Amino acid sequence: MSAAADREEARLRRRAAVDIKGAMRGLRSNLAMLNRQVGVRLELRDVDVDCLDVINSQGPISPTALARAAGLHPATLTGILDRLERGGWIVRERAATDRRSVVVRTLPDRLGELYHLLSGMNSSLDDICADYTTEQLQLIAEFLRRSAIAGHDSGRELQ
């Protein structure tokens, strides 16, 4: 490859990386707005919806592990868990391995409301995924996992 071709390839690569970062900023903003609208419909705060998602995906989970996963101070988390419990979204239970500790889990009956509100987005994602090959979807999934880890690690550095 010639030096001019190398420079052009480097320029195109930088442009593609800038486009990806811009698209991810747009995705973050749009998902935040979607979550805000879902929260309004469910009478939950944004942080409540975030914690509910972590509990649902990683639970049953201890409050300490949840605070760590959500990047929240344990005292802040207590108020969130109180609201979610009052709303019938979660239950606190004694841990099976240590009866002195507590775990939090979601209540499936209430989650149906959340899934219903997100069904439009899930259908749209199914339509988008249909346009890609299995190999392309695997590559996209790997990129998103690595991006999520980078975001998590960057957040931890700010704590």
Q: What is the mean pLDDT of residues 92-97?
A: 86
pLDDT of 134 reads 98
Q: What is the pLDDT of residue 64?
A: 92
Closest CA to 96 of 88, 105, 87: 105
Average pLDDT value for residue range 58-81? 91
The per-residue pLDDT for 31 is: 94
Half-sphere exposure of 17 (CA within 13 A, CB side): 6
pLDDT at 88: 95
The predicted model gives 20-44 an average pLDDT of 95
pLDDT at 141 over 80: yes
The answer to whether 23 and 31 have CB atoms below 8 angstroms apart is no
CA 131 to chain centre: 23
75-107: buried (b, 16+ CB within 10 Å) or exposed (e) per residue?
eebeebbebbeeeebbeeeeeeeeeeeebbebe
Q: Are strands 102-106 and 90-94 parallel, antiparallel or unpaired?
A: antiparallel
Q: Looking at residue 99, what is its pLDDT?
A: 77
How much is the mean pLDDT over the chain?
Answer: 93
Confidence (pTM): 0.81
pLDDT value of residue 118? 94
Residues 51, 90: Cα–Cα separation, whole Å = 10
Question: Helices 3-42 and 46-58: crossing angle, nearest 10°?
Answer: 100
